[in-house]
Each structure stands twice: as structure tokens, then as C-alpha cells.
Amino acid sequence: ETGVTQTPRHLVMGMTNKKSLKCEQHLGHNAMYWYKQSAKKPLELMFVYSLEERVENNSVPSRFSPECPNSSHLFLHLHTLQPEDSALYLCASSQEYVNTEAFFGQGTRLTVV
Amino acid sequence: QQQVKQSPQSLIVQKGGFSIINCAYENTAFDYFPWYQQFPGKGPALLIAIRPDVSEKKEGRFTISFNKSAKQFSLHIMDSQPGDSATYFCAATPYNQGGKLIFGQGTELSVKP
């Protein structure tokens, strides 16, 4: 596999459920990101990890909890979500935190019911 | 200060036509301006990018024009093709903040055959 792979591609969850999104990059990059893409809104940066250390948390509610166990994997743990959290969640990676070319995965389409 | 404003929201052109998408920013710390292309069901992919030390960059049928004094930049697509139909996002970032991209709202381009 190459590039940035996200699983699952689609997820429907109830507001009381706990689920996790997974991202894996096969590019040897050191920085990974979570973005949220909602309809009619710009992509919003949620979290940044550089060398497995969180370097950015853009005022994201605590019901979203990221985890970066190593430089190739990134998770987004979800619990007690709201319907307005329904969106496309995109993972990206770049060679270094200061390297501006970000490569995106295909995203996970999340629906909260 | 952190916003990037993009217009138009949607654009319809005929095959062979010329497309222009405009973006404006406020933050003078931004010094890297990429454009991303996103097809349905896919993540955004880097199309072309520019630094403010040049006023224009061309790659094939795609050209970025940059006006530093006006804090505006635009994407020009020559000889538009149906395969160019996608959503285009401009973005900006301070170069030393890597993948921390501030995105515009996106432009949905449709090229009619």
C-alpha cells in the first residue's frame, strides 16, 4: 500500500457510542494531521503530531481524542458525539512539521445519529 | 486574520474555456500558498503552490498569480477539460508551520463537454 490510508471509509454511530478512526501513512513522514471537512465550510485543522508528539490542538472538544502511537499511525477516538460532528474526517501527513506539502487520505465519512 | 476568502463558490465553464478562482488573505505572516484539488470521494491533492517571492508560477495548464501588495492570489486554468471538474481549495500557511494549512471555502468547478 502507498500513501495515506484511512479506515473505515464510512461510519455511522449513535451519540452514546465510542468508535475510533484509523490513519496509516506509508510515506516515511514524521508529521501527521487530522482535519475536519464539513459541507459549505473550509477544512478545519484539528490536531497536529510531529514525531509522535502533539504540537497543536485547535480548541477541539474533548469528545475527540487523538492518539499517535508511532510516526506511521494516527487515531481519532470518538465518544459522546453530537449530530453536528457529522463530517468528512481527513488525515494528512508531511515529511516534517515544517514541510508544507501535506498528503491527504481519502477520509472517513462520519454520520452521527 | 487567520481567514482565507475564496470565490466564486461554484463555476461552470465549457470545455476549452478559461477558469479563474480567486483568494484573499489578511495575515502577512503567510508565505506559502498551495492549491488543492479534490475529486468526489477522494482527499485533497496538492495541485500547485507558490511562495511570495514570485508573482506567477505555471505548471501545464494551471497557473498561480500572486499579488503580494493586494494580498490576493488566484488559480488560472487554461483549456479547461471535463476531467478538471472537481473542488478546488486555496490555502495559506507560514512556511515554518508546515501542514498547518488555513483553507479557503472551496470552489466547485464543472467543465461541460
Q: Is the dihedral of CA B77, B82, B23, B99 positive or negative?
A: negative
Instruction: List the pLDDT tens digit at each of the 113 positions of chain B.
Output: 568 999 999 999 999 999 999 999 998 888 889 999 999 889 999 999 998 889 999 999 999 999 999 999 999 999 999 999 999 999 998 867 666 789 999 999 999 99
CA A51/CA A43 separation, integer angstroms? 23
Sequence-ordered list of residues with C-beta below 8 angstroms from that of A54, at least 6 positions apart, any chain = A47, A48, A66, A68
CB < 8 Å to B95, chain A: 98, 100
Length of chain A: 113
Q: Which residue has the cell 488573505?
A: B25
Cross-chain CB nearest to A48 (options B34, B45, B100): B100
Length of chain B, in residues: 113
Report the alpha-carbon distance of residue A104 to residue B76 in Å, rounded. Answer: 23
pLDDT at A1 over 60: no
Q: Which of B51, B95, B100 to mutate to test the interface with A (most CBs of A within 10 A)?
A: B100
Whether A94 and B99 lie within 8 Å, measured CB to CB: yes
Contact A71, A7 (CB under 8 A): no
pLDDT confidence band for A73 (50 / 70 / 90): very high
Distance (Å) from the alpha carbon of A86 to chain B's nearest alpha carbon: 16
Neighbouring C-beta atoms of residue B21, cutoff 10 Å = 21
**Residues of chain A contacting B, Cβ within 8 Å:** 4, 31, 33, 40-45, 48, 56, 90, 92-94, 96-107
* CA distance linking residue B111 with residue A46, whole number of Å: 33
pLDDT, tens only, A21-62: 999 999 999 999 999 999 878 899 999 998 888 887 778 999
Report the residue of chain B nearest A89, measured CA to CA. B43
Residue B12 to chain A, least CA–CA distance (Å): 18
